[in-house]
A and B are shown apart, each in its own frame.
Chain A
């Protein structure tokens, strides 16, 4: 498809933006002015609408396809939550208006949404306090490890490293470094859990904390989680819960009750806010009481007369981590979602997410020749190593699925499983969809066995076939000129 710049023609008018002039503009000296206007497209409004409509149709999305993308929780994003977030009385509020009158009297509606959502997330996770400011999961992690550093500094602990299991998402180690810590990686045991003995060996007085997902990226719940928490607390380390897999356990267990001190949630996963083709998301962080003084400012507080105000006066706070109060529009969506689910809906949602995953795992097990190893949580990982015998790999299988209208599962992650294929169906898919998926994947494996080339050439039904990524990195054509 042509680029919008290739559709441009000199002098072609877009949306009428010119209105009445009201003053004689003062001349700004030349040296402050750009020499020629920015070369933006010149395209009619109708053509712009057609262009972006056509582009949208080149995408797979939740609204159009099943997305069994492991670790990403691609559930349906309710339209009612979109409608709630689009209310003009919420979208048209300037973030600095709370500074204009009485610490927030103009924005009581928005502040009460923030306050209510904080309380709900606290109750759901079992952690005492929340900040809604982190703008994504990785930003939540950074906030969490920064809180860790602030705590240790304040109480006089001399810490130098954070422990992370090898199955962790890449953002965990990348975030830990930014709080000034070294990263110690612990291998997984044969069950896919962080090896407990190796963990104990690595743990010492210098351990600032441990970052864990539970269930982990393999969909395995670490049965020794309580022992890990206790051991870490013994050296005054802090337990960090990566909420990436929270969709499995909502309403069933609370990280705060088990012994976690810090937790981030990906609202764009468990709480149904859209992924947006790569963002924006939101990664609120919850903490236990002793970490409250370090939370980023501002803090939303409810006064005795029932008003909501912003408090910037927290001397031990780590300071600003976002310009304002977080990705407000995303927070409203999550708030609407939680209100819709209610207490029973949370548990019901996780139950069905785990049921769908187990159903799919059992159905697919024979296809991948995997022996029964127990139940999974909300997702599971198989190895596609056997496919190599047929001369194909999981990438080929993934590309083959595209031709049958399925977004491929996550592949080659986690890194500790060869030819990994990671599947997370979520609760918003019905059984017909799951059955259909199994049928197609079975067909593709059969096809691979008969004629590998068919899969090598996939996908064939998409606007482009397999793309040359090496060429992209070598040529570095990063914009149109």
Chain B
């Protein structure tokens, strides 16, 4: 029994007849334009596996992950419940095996879903326009900064240290070659933006300022004072937000933010070891022609029937080439699809239920954990679902010990922040039960006492 090339549709008979039709004897003749000396000798990888062998192989590798942990680690990426219907609908091949909807008549499913997604993002953030998504929250923030700099024709950006350090590092890589003047302001003692420092740095050469709400430490802030002064000096405000928090937390739109970005993973996407994720992007309407990425708009067909198309394409790389608003050529449509399915399923009230329960769990945990002897809150008590605690021992050693108890005990922030060896960031979602939080608190207490 011979092995055939998997997934190829040509039978041996077809092949013979096709060779005959082309007047060739073997495959090599098709590749005559490639000089022989360029041809490779061999590809040294294993022989192909049957479907069953492949699945067994991957299952075996996957089993080496430790996944039965009670998770309190967030830091921008959260373990939320995903309703069963999200997977069922997003797994439809008609959605995920389609191409980019350049042929709108054959892509109304994708296009209408994207339009509905854009609408949901506008409603969550209170912004005028949203695009059809970008790679992730970090790249969305970068695109937001670049758009602000393009719009203001300035090249200086000030970034608050409360913005995810992961995203700040991505932004630095990006701006490194682009003569962008990059400055950071360190976080205030109470965990929120240090106004004094910020206003000191802000002047009329600054094109973009970047904040996050709730910030990396989970702290909430009211940015209206900052936004007003920024606008007075002609700069634009970019804000990265956590979408689930928008169930209750003041919207960037209401605060006057110009460009809103964020990670949409919490809206029905698994954590998936870092991706694929969902970058959402919204802005005030006067900025729409400078927006990056795909945008879907409503129109009519020749019979006056409503339909949807990719629009404002004159901004994009396939038309503008080196003058495009961004080099990005795709969105993450299936991820955006998951988000609009998720938001439709939970609906207006269910979305608030999720938010309320996140706050409820975090609040219970705050009372329970900050009352442990030796532990204090790192910052003030203004949070949504995540907060930082100061430990009497290093946060790294605590999380190490908690692993043995089956707990992923949070994120030790010292990886990204100096002088914070003892600070641990802990997150709570609707999935965490009272019992789990009790176990978490009890274990923390016994580990601390044991040292």
Query: In the bound complex, how far is the Cα of B319 from the Cα of A257, in angstroms?
Result: 34
Q: Does A1 contact B (CB under 8 A)?
A: yes
Interface members, chain A 19-45 (any B CB < 8 Å): 19-26, 28-29, 31-35, 37-43, 45
Say yes or no for A124: interface residue by CB 8 A criterion: yes
Given contacts A31-B222, A352-B5, contact A57 B94 (CB under 8 A): yes
* A/B pair count, beta carbons within 8 Å: 680
Report the Cα distance A180→B363, complex, angstroms.
48
CB atoms of A123 and B348 under 8 A apart: no
Instruction: Kindly list chain B residues whose C-beta atoms are within 8 Å of the C-beta of A330.
Output: 275-276
A167 CB, min distance to chain B CBs, angstroms: 12
| Stretch from A199-207, A285-293, A332-340, A386-394 at the B interface | A332-340
Ordered by A's residue number, 8 sampled pairs between the chains whose C-beta atoms are within 8 Å are A22-B361, A48-B341, A91-B272, A95-B77, A170-B320, A342-B49, A354-B31, A462-B105
Q: Which of B10, B17, B45, B93 has the most C-beta atoms of chain A within 10 angstroms of its own C-beta?
A: B45
CB distance from A383 to the nearest CB of B (A): 19
Q: How far is the CB of A98 from chain B (nearest CB, A)?
A: 9
Interface flag for B46 (CB, 8 Å): yes
In the complex, whether A296 has a CB less than 8 A from a CB of chain B is: yes
Name the CB-closest residue of A to B221.
A32
Whether the Cβ atoms of A468 and B179 lie closer than 8 Å is no
Q: Complex formed: what's the CA distance from A93 to B14 in Å?
A: 45
| Complex alpha-carbon distance, A221 and B247, angstroms | 55
A335 to B324, CA, bound (A): 33
Interface membership of B266, Cβ < 8 A:
no
Is B226's beta carbon under 8 Å from chain A? no
**Chain A at the B interface: mostly helix, strand, loop or mixed?**
loop
Contacts of A217 in B (CB 8 A): none
What are the residues of chain B within 8 A of A43 when measuring CB–CB?
A: 344, 347
Q: Please encode chain B, from 40 to 53, with 1 for each CB lying within 8 Å of some chain A CB and 0 for all others.
A: 10111111111100
B331 on the A face (CB < 8 A): yes
Q: How far is the CA of A320 from the CA of B61 in the complex (A)?
A: 27
Task: Say whether A257 contacts B297, CB under 8 Å.
Answer: no
Q: Are A109 and B63 in contact, with the CB atoms below 8 A?
A: yes
Residue from A59, A146, A318, A477 within 8 A of B107 (CB atoms): A59
Query: In the complex, what distance in Å separates the CA atom of A107 from the CA atom of B110?
Result: 35
B300 is an interface residue with CB less than 8 A from chain A: yes
Q: Which residues of A contact B21 (CB under 8 A)?
A: 359, 362
Tally of A interface residues using CB under 8 Å: 202
CB distance from A206 to the nearest CB of B (A): 16
Contact B333 A279 (CB under 8 A): yes
List residues 359-396 of chain B with CB under 8 A from any CB of chain A: 359-361, 363-364, 366-367, 381-382
**A369 located at the interface, meaning its Cβ lies under 8 Å from any Cβ of chain B in the complex:** no
Nearest-Cβ distance from residue A165 to partner chain B, whole angstroms: 12
Taking A225-B38, A253-B38, A343-B43 as contacts, is the C-beta distance between A92 and B274 under 8 angstroms?
Answer: no
**Is the CB–CB distance between B322 and A45 below 8 Å?**
no
Bound Cα distance from A102 to B403, whole angstroms = 11
Chain A residues positioned under 8 Å from B49 (CB to CB): 339-340, 342
Q: Is the CB of B302 within 8 A of A466?
A: yes
The answer to whether A463 has its CB under 8 Å from any CB of chain B is: yes
Q: How far is the CA of A109 from the CA of B62 in the complex (A)?
A: 5
- Bound form: Cα–Cα A174–B133 in Å: 19
For residue A436, CB closer than 8 A to chain B, the reply is no
A324/B311 in contact, CB under 8 A: no
- Option from B33, B129, B139, B309 in Cβ contact (under 8 Å) with A135: B139
Q: Is B294 at the interface (CB under 8 A from chain A)?
A: yes
CB contacts (< 8 Å) of A74 on chain B: these are: 99
The answer to whether B30 and A375 have CB atoms under 8 Å apart is yes
Judge whether B190 is part of the interface by a CB distance below 8 angstroms. no
- Expressed in whole angstroms, the Cα–Cα distance for A65 and B369 within the complex equals 57
In the complex, chain A residues whose CB is within 8 Å of the CB of B248: 28, 33-34
Q: Which of A93, A102, A459 has the most chain B CB atoms closer than 10 A to its own CB? A: A93
The interface residues of chain B lying within 8 Å CB-to-CB of A296 are 173
A355 touches B27 (CB 8 A): yes
Which among B58, B66, B288, B301 is the interface contact of A478 at CB below 8 angstroms? B288
Q: How far is the CA of A147 from the CA of B354 in the complex (A)?
A: 43
Chain A residues whose C-beta falls within 8 Å of the C-beta of B321 in the assembled complex:
170, 173-174, 183
Which residues of the partner chain B approach A377 to less than 8 Å between Cβ atoms? 33
- How far, in angstroms, from A279 to B117 measured CA to CA in the complex? 15
Question: What's the Cα separation between A258 and B34 when bound, in Å?
Answer: 11
Do A253 and B103 touch (CB < 8 A)? Answer: no
Is B305 located at the chain interface by the 8 A CB criterion? yes
| Bound: A374/B249 CA distance, A | 64
Is there contact, CB below 8 Å, between A94 and B73? yes
Give A277 to B96 CA distance when docked, in angstroms. Answer: 6
In the complex with contacts A279-B330, A323-B166, A328-B274, A472-B298 CB distance below 8 A: yes
The answer to whether the Cβ of A131 comes within 8 Å of any Cβ in the partner chain is no
State whether A478 touches B10 (Cβ < 8 A): no
Which A residues from 341 to 397 make CB contacts under 8 A with B? 341-349, 351-352, 354-356, 358-359, 362, 374-375, 377
